[in-house]
Structure 1
């Protein structure tokens, strides 16, 4: 159990690297409403173990190392670019900004960002409120980068290459209309207009059956453009 608490505490500090996280915030994340006789001592023990673990991988294990006591809390004193989550988000932003300018370079950067992942975000750090919320945000960013990568590939003229992946993503995430749009566009650009139209109707039915929603105006406009074979859809 202590090992899990160490991971939780380190995760909370890493999510706010360079900022002081108060003792109370850490105690709330690690123990919630569980009553302990002396939570401050328990927290100090967790942090001491954390420092020893960091020391074994070459980081200073003392209070003057990367985990420092500052005022009424602790701070992870580490550059932002040393943390996987920050590097992922920065590279994702760079790739996203290049989609319309240099789609091949954008795709390279976005693939590199996705390559940093090897499982769900914060999968082994427990179920504290802050870690859960951060995991949801990071997993959502991962989905957005997947969508951005496909957009870059479509801009680069790789419609045929993305159809198999899009079919899988559309089946796994029917609620994400951007996957539906991208699949419809990729199918249309590879000469499969009827499949693109079928994809719209399946999406509309799923949205209605599962969430009581209508397709977005953007998805409906794409559907109408595909029906009329609008020249603007071709690349």
Structure 2
């Protein structure tokens, strides 16, 4: 887990105390500093076995009262995912097919939940939640690109599954309503809105956003702006 904490802050010094708190929390060992040094020594040896310099002058360096992982950002999976996701998102409006290609590539970097094999440290938990949220956003961005490219029929099955798994995400409700409407299923689009409205009210005491309400009205009136 120590390497994960350093990787999440690559290029920045992570203090000894911060690492100790992440590794042992409220149940520290009697000599945590020595234990931490032992973990870092083993980490360096492991990195050396895969071709990285396993000394203090290598990728894991001691700096002041902490350690730093001196590795280029693009060598880390999380950073490569986020960068490619940003590039794809920026292309949705004017090059949706290229955007979809980049977004699919970003999602292909995932093999399961973020940091699933890492111990339950507070910082790692928070980072895992952020990364998993970014993954969901990229899934929605990919669907947005496909809708922009005129592929409404292709995304309906996936949207139905995602909407069932995450009914609280209004963007999925919006995308499903649009996809259904564009494939000639106006009644199902309207029903999706009402099911979303009922769930938001029952589970969170909320009304649908104004944006979702306006989309509902546009579907009812068959607004020409919904066509693609």
The size of the alignment, in residue pairs, is 228
1:96-111 pair list within 5 angstroms: 96-111=89-104
Q: Deviations over 1:64-84 (max 9, x none)?
A: 111011111000000000000
Once superposed, which parts of structure 1, at least 4 consecutive aligned residues long, lie more than 2 Å away? none
Q: Provide the C-alpha distance between the structure 2 equivalents of 1:211 and 1:127, rounded to a whole number of angstroms.
A: 28
Q: 2:12, 2:69 within 8 Å by CA — same for their partners in 1?
A: yes
Q: Select which of 53, 59, 84 maps to 2:52.
A: 59
1:7-156 pair list within 5 angstroms: 8-156=1-149
Q: Provide the C-alpha distance between the structure 1 equivalents of 2:215 and 2:53, rounded to a whole number of angstroms.
A: 56
Q: Provide the C-alpha distance between the structure 2 equivalents of 1:233 and 1:50, rounded to a whole number of angstroms.
A: 55
Q: 2:91, 2:98 within 8 Å by CA — same for their partners in 1?
A: yes
1:205-224 pair list within 5 angstroms: 205-224=198-217
Scaled by the length of structure 1, the TM-score of the pair is 0.96
Q: Select which of 168, 171, 177 maps to 2:170.
A: 177
Q: 2:180, 2:189 within 8 Å by CA — same for their partners in 1?
A: yes
Q: Provide the C-alpha distance between the structure 2 equivalents of 1:92 and 1:47, rounded to a whole number of angstroms.
A: 32
What SS is found at the alignment partner of 1:164?
A: helix
Task: Select between 221-230 and 33-42 the one with higher mean Cα deviation.
Answer: 33-42
Q: Deviations over 1:118-143 (max 9, x none)?
A: 01001111111100000000000000
Report the alpha carbon displacement of residue 35 of structure 1 after superposing the two structures with TM.
3.2
Q: Provide the C-alpha distance between the structure 1 equivalents of 2:28 and 2:85, rounded to a whole number of angstroms.
A: 42
What SS is found at the alignment partner of 2:61?
A: strand
Cα RMSD between the aligned structures?
Answer: 0.6
Report the alpha carbon displacement of residue 212 of structure 1 after superposing the two structures with TM.
1.0
Specify the alignment match of 1:234 in structure 2.
227
Structure 1, unaligned runs of 5 or more: 1-7
What SS is found at the alignment partner of 1:123?
A: coil
Report the alpha carbon displacement of residue 33 of structure 1 after superposing the two structures with TM.
1.1
Q: Deviations over 1:132-190 (max 9, x none)?
A: 00000000000000000000000000000000000000000000000000000000000
Structure 2, unaligned runs of 5 or more: none
Q: Deviations over 1:75-111 (max 9, x none)?
A: 0000000000000000000000000010000000000
Report the alpha carbon displacement of residue 209 of structure 1 after superposing the two structures with TM.
1.0
Q: Provide the C-alpha distance between the structure 2 equivalents of 1:33 and 1:199, rounded to a whole number of angstroms.
A: 47
